Each structure stands twice: as C-alpha cells, then as structure tokens.
C-alpha cells in the first residue's frame, strides 16, 4: 500500500523525522526555511497531513489548497496560528501538545519573574560593560518576590503550575480566569483566591500572564489596564504576543508607571518593537519558555504521535476539534 504523505513545515529533531518516515513519505524542511503562505499552500497539495509550529499561519486558504488534507498537528499547546473553524468545516483534524510543557513553562515564568524583579540581566550587562567600580548601598535595588502578592491571569494548567511554585516564596496568590477553579485546584495552587480582573491588576505586586490567545483577549492588557497596576509592579508574559498592547507597555515602562516587564512573547515576533531595546527595565527572551531539551522533545514526539494516529485510523490523543471524528 502506498504510504500517506506528510509535510513537516519546520526543522525538528532528526529522530522525529525518522519516526514519521516509518509510516509516511515525509517532505521535511531541515534547512528550516520559512515558508511563505503561498509556498505553504503549494506544499500542502498532495499531503495527507502536516506537522506545523506556531510560526506558520494555517489559514482557510492554506487548508483550501488541498481538499484531501486530513490532519494538522501543531507542535505547541497554543493553536491560534490555525483556523480551526475552517479546518472543522473541511473535516480536517487539528491537534496540539498540551500538558507536556506545563512544568517547564512554569519554571521559565519564574525565571523571568525573578530576573525582572531582581534586575538580573540589567545588572549583568552593566558588569560586562566594565561599570562595576565599587559597591554601593543602592546598586540595582529591585522588588522583593518572597512575601509579595502574585497575580496570575489565565489559570489553566500552566497558570496553576506557576501558582504552585509560589509556596516556597511565601506569597499570596490571586488569579482571574474565565471560570473559577474547583476548590481543590485552588488549594493546590497555593490557596489561590479568585478575583475580578480589575482587582487582580490593582492588587498584584507581580502579574504573570498565562492565558491562551484568542481575538477576544487581544490587548486585554492595554493602556487602561497598565494604568491600574501598581507603579512598583512587575509584568511577566509567557503566553502570547497580542495579549499585551506592546506600544502601551513601552509607554508605561518608559514613564515609570510600571516598574519592569519580563517578556518571552511579542506582537509580530520575531520582529518585535525595537523600542523595547531602549529600555533597561525589561528582560527580553526569544519565545523559549518551553525550551528545555526534554520538553521540546516531548512536544515533538507528541505532535508526531498525533499525526501517526490521525493518519493510521486511530483517534489522535490531543484532538482539538473532535466533532470531525464523527463526521464519517
Ligand atoms: C512553543 C508555545 O515553543 O506551545 C506553545 O504554544 O508557545 C511554545 O511552547 C512554540 O510555540 C514553538 O513550538
């Protein structure tokens, strides 16, 4: 029997390509060339499934380029790069990679929070520039993390993993989410207290964003929300670009209306607003919150397992639009 054909849109661990080759005829992209939407639409033709990352926008047009496409398997928990409604309409399965990255991403949220509040990168750049001539009582004074109030906006699996870690820092946790957590989950998340969004913004000493992106939450943290935050507060975004209005954040940070921000994600990344580079009160990282070796491997394996299941007649474990399974 002829093997099904799949496209892997970006470079990935070679053994994952090898794994896929046991089942499929694979068109890989190990040179990691960024494909334009037109190239993507062309390459999707004749394929049964695609292995994607959030760098590719899988639009209705890309999906429509191939009426026989059966599955789009994203190597990420987020899937705002894929037009799910169009995929569902066309009977195409869409999958993501939940859970395997929760703990690693939560670790990184803490790395950013501590680096930002305690000015780790700013002071390191200063030291490297040869500016450390003497000790002073007020060199790089930062904010305390221990004993402070941690706010979490978006209390899903990653938000909860972030909150749990605050126990060791004796913090009070407040959170806002579309729906309130079950009491047992709140208890596990360091007795997190559910509050309204405005109270969260006003009361948090450190606010971490951990919500998925959707058009409904575009710029949910904009000028108005930033103005509600304490001027001494730290903002950390490990979620998605577009949740924060980056231009408004730059204005607030420059004016000292917000103490500092730790950002792993940006609007229009990797082409982020260059004004961030002129600010000393930011810690900027290139979307690496899930980038530990074991976790990126687990994500790639998870996406591959979904693709293999989808094209060999099993239900993919992480299907996002299960309604297509019953469509016959
Ligand atoms: C990925 C992410 O690193 O899973 C997600 O949604 O944003 C990150 O874990 C990134 O999307 C590349 O796969």
Which pLDDT tens digit goes with each residue over 181-216? 999 999 999 999 999 999 999 999 999 999 999 999
Does the pLDDT value for residue 165 go beyond 60?
yes
Residues 89-140: pLDDT tens digits?
Answer: 999 999 999 999 999 999 999 999 999 999 999 999 999 999 999 999 999 9
If you take atom 9 of ligand 1, which residue's CA is the nearest one? 290
- The larger pLDDT score, comparing residue 36 to residue 321, is at 321
Same domain, yes or no: 47 and 179:
no
Same domain, yes or no: 48 and 141:
no
Percent of the chain scoring above 70 in pLDDT = 99
Contact 192, 186 (CB under 8 A): yes
Same domain, yes or no: 194 and 83:
no
Same domain, yes or no: 138 and 194:
yes
Structural domain boundaries enclosing 43: 4-100+293-326
Same domain, yes or no: 110 and 175:
yes
What's the predicted TM-score (pTM) here? 0.96
Same domain, yes or no: 189 and 232:
yes
From 206, 240, 267, 296, the catalytic residue = 240
Same domain, yes or no: 133 and 252:
yes
Domains contained in the chain, number: 2
Residue 1 is predicted with a pLDDT of: 76
Contact 44, 65 (CB under 8 A): yes
Contact 90, 281 (CB under 8 A): no
Write down the mean pLDDT value for the chain: 97
Same domain, yes or no: 156 and 274:
yes
Contact 28, 52 (CB under 8 A): no
DSSP three-state, residue 208: strand
Residues with CB under 6 A from ligand 1: 53-54, 75-78, 101, 287, 290
CATH (domain of 273): 3.40.50.720
Does the pLDDT value for residue 328 go beyond 90?
no
Residue 326 is predicted with a pLDDT of: 78
Same domain, yes or no: 113 and 142:
yes
From 287, 296, 297, 323, the catalytic residue = 287
Does the pLDDT value for residue 273 go beyond 80?
yes
Same domain, yes or no: 261 and 306:
no
Same domain, yes or no: 150 and 244:
yes
Banded model confidence at residue 327, pLDDT cuts 50, 70, 90:
low
Residue 38 token pair: 């037109």
Residue 124 token pair: 């390191």
Q: Which atom of ligand 1 is nearest to the CA of 96?
A: 4
Same domain, yes or no: 242 and 156:
yes
Judge residue 40's burial from the number of C-beta atoms within 10 Å of its C-beta, 0-12 exposed, 13-18 middle, 19 or more buried. Answer: buried
If you take atom 10 of ligand 1, which residue's CA is the nearest one? 76
How is 77-115 classified by DSSP, letter by letter?
S--TTB-HHHHHHTT-EEE---STTHHHHHHHHHHHHHH
Q: Which atom of ligand 1 is nearest to the CA of 76?
A: 4
Tell me which residue has tokens 């070679």. 14
Round to whole Å and give the CA distance between 27 and 73. Answer: 15
Handedness of CA 291, 297, 301, 307 (dihedral sign): positive
What value does the mean pLDDT take over residues 158-167? Answer: 98
Does the pLDDT value for residue 80 go beyond 60?
yes
If you take atom 6 of ligand 1, which residue's CA is the nearest one? 78
DSSP three-state, residue 45: coil
Active site residue 269: yes
């Amino acid at each position: 029997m002829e093997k099904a054909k799949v496209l892997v849109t970006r470079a990935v661990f070679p053994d994952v390509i090898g794994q896929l080759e046991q089942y499929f005829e694979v068109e890989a992209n190990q040179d990691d060339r960024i494909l334009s939407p037109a190239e993507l639409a062309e390459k999707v033709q004749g394929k049964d499934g695609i292995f994607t990352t959030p760098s590719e926008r899988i639009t209705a047009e890309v999906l429509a380029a191939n009426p026989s496409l059966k599955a789009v398997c994203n190597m990420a928990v987020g899937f705002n790069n894929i037009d799910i409604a169009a995929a569902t309409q066309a009977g195409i399965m869409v999958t993501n990679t939940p859970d395997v990255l929760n703990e690693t991403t939560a670790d990184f949220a803490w790395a950013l929070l501590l680096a930002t509040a305690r000015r780790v990168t700013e002071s390191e750049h200063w030291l490297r520039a040869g500016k450390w001539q003497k000790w002073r009582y007020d060199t790089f004074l930062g904010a305390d993390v221990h004993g402070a109030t941690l706010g979490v906006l978006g209390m899903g699996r990653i938000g909860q993993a972030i909150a749990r870690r605050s126990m060791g820092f004796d913090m009070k946790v407040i959170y806002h989410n579309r729906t309130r957590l079950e009491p047992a989950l709140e208890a596990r998340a360091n007795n997190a207290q559910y509050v309204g969004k405005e109270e969260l913004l006003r009361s948090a000493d450190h606010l971490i964003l951990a919500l998925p992106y959707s058009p409904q939450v575009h710029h949910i943290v904009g000028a108005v929300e930033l103005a509600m935050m304490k001027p001494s507060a730290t903002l950390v975004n490990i979620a998605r670009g577009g949740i924060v209005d980056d231009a408004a954040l730059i204005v607030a940070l420059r004016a000292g209306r917000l103490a500092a921000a730790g950002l792993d994600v940006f609007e229009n990344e990797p082409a982020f607003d260059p004004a961030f580079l002129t600010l000393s009160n930011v810690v900027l990282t290139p979307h690496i919150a899930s980038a530990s070796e074991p976790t990126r491997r687990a994500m790639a394996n998870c996406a591959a397992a979904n693709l293999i299941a989808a094209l060999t007649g099993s239900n993919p474990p992480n299907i996002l639009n299960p309604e297509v399974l019953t469509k016959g």
